[in-house]
Amino acid sequence: MELQETVITRAIVETFMKKLSDSSELDVAIVGGGPAGLVAAHKLAAGGKKVALFEKKLSIGGGMWGGGMLFNEIVVQEEGRTILNEYGIRSAEYRKGYYTADAVESVTTLCSSACRAGARVFNCMTVEDVVIRENRVCGLVINWTPVEMAGLHVDPLTISADVIVDCTGHDTEVLKVISRKADVRLFTESGSVMGERSMWAEKAERLTLENTREVFHNVYVAGMSANAAFGGPRMGPIFGGMLLSGCKVAEMILQSGVSAEV
């Protein structure tokens, strides 16, 4: 069979457009493709929710790709290892309570699991705004990341969603848009993003889970976004809290019983 370049082009364009069009109305929109976002996407899709994940970078995996200072190994504690085991990600005991895993194996497995469960993953897409109606966030305004990087004046498109999950890490990008563009108070002590504190792995791992919750009407935070939103410390290259946070936010949303009208 002779391959035709135009057929290849049409296959990509038509298939992608169908995928994007089908994702214009969602149960849950996750922003940020780090470990918390990927676990949440998998759990929600496996639970029957219509889910799409939007990642501004070309690569998926957030900080997990680089391990610690580009040494592509990660560390998890005993609780985090249960999540690795669930996904079949290999780990090794370094000493009691500390386990290492290959960062590349971890990211690729989590991403594959999310996709196979039915979550749609869109990379190189930036969330530049949100849609708020009656004091409730009900959609995301998206554009290509290269458009934003180039400073081009290109109008964006809109995705509707019953629930938004900010998994954008240290930057809490969705929450900052909400705070900047809407006259509302977040469910934090200050009413706005409180910002992350200096590194304290023990405390940060605990607070990552405690701070994984609703931060505004129908908007949740998970992973490092949770600590940055509520003023917790950072934890560095230990990722158990991130994995557990993704599980927790998915469970909270599943228990809330949201569903999109398509």
Q: What is the mean pLDDT of residues 156-160?
A: 98
Cβ distance 175 to 229 under 8 Å? yes
- At 238, is the secondary structure helix, strand, or coil? strand
Residue 125 CA to residue 136 CA, distance in Å, equals 23
Distance CA 241, CA 165 (A): 16
Q: Are strands 213-216 and 219-221 parallel, antiparallel or unpaired?
A: antiparallel
Strand blocks (E) in 38-172: 51-55, 73-76, 92-95, 98-102, 120-123, 125-133, 136-144, 157-166
Classify the phi-psi angles of 260: left when phi > 0, otherwise alpha if psi is within -120 to 50, otherwise beta. Answer: beta
| pLDDT higher than 80, residue 219 | yes
Query: How many angstroms separate the CA atoms of 170 and 235, rounded?
Result: 11
Mean residue pLDDT of the chain comes to: 96
Report which of residues 47 and 183 the model is more confident about. Answer: 47
Of the candidate CATH numbers 3.20.20.110, 3.30.1360.20, 1.20.1300.10, 3.50.50.60, the domain formed by 23-256 belongs to 3.50.50.60
Q: Residue 260 above 80 pLDDT?
A: no
Q: How wide is the angle at C-alpha 246 spanned by C-alphas 244 and 251, nearest 5°?
A: 95
pTM above 0.75, yes or no: yes
The predicted model gives 78-85 an average pLDDT of 97
* pLDDT above 50: residue 169: yes
* Sign of the CA dihedral with 157 first, then 22, 126, and 47 last: positive
DSSP state for residue 204 in the 8-state scheme: H
Residue 181 has pLDDT above 90, yes or no: no
Q: Per-residue pLDDT averaged across 109-125, rounded?
A: 98
Mean pLDDT confidence for 151-164: 97
Would you place residue 261 in the very low, low, confident or very high pLDDT band (cuts 50, 70, 90)?
very low
Please determine, for residue 189, whether its predicted confidence score (pLDDT) is greater than 70.
yes
Residue 262 has pLDDT above 60, yes or no: no
Where does the pLDDT of residue 259 fall: very low under 50, low under 70, confident under 90, or very high at 90 and above?
low
Does residue 199 carry a pLDDT above 80?
yes
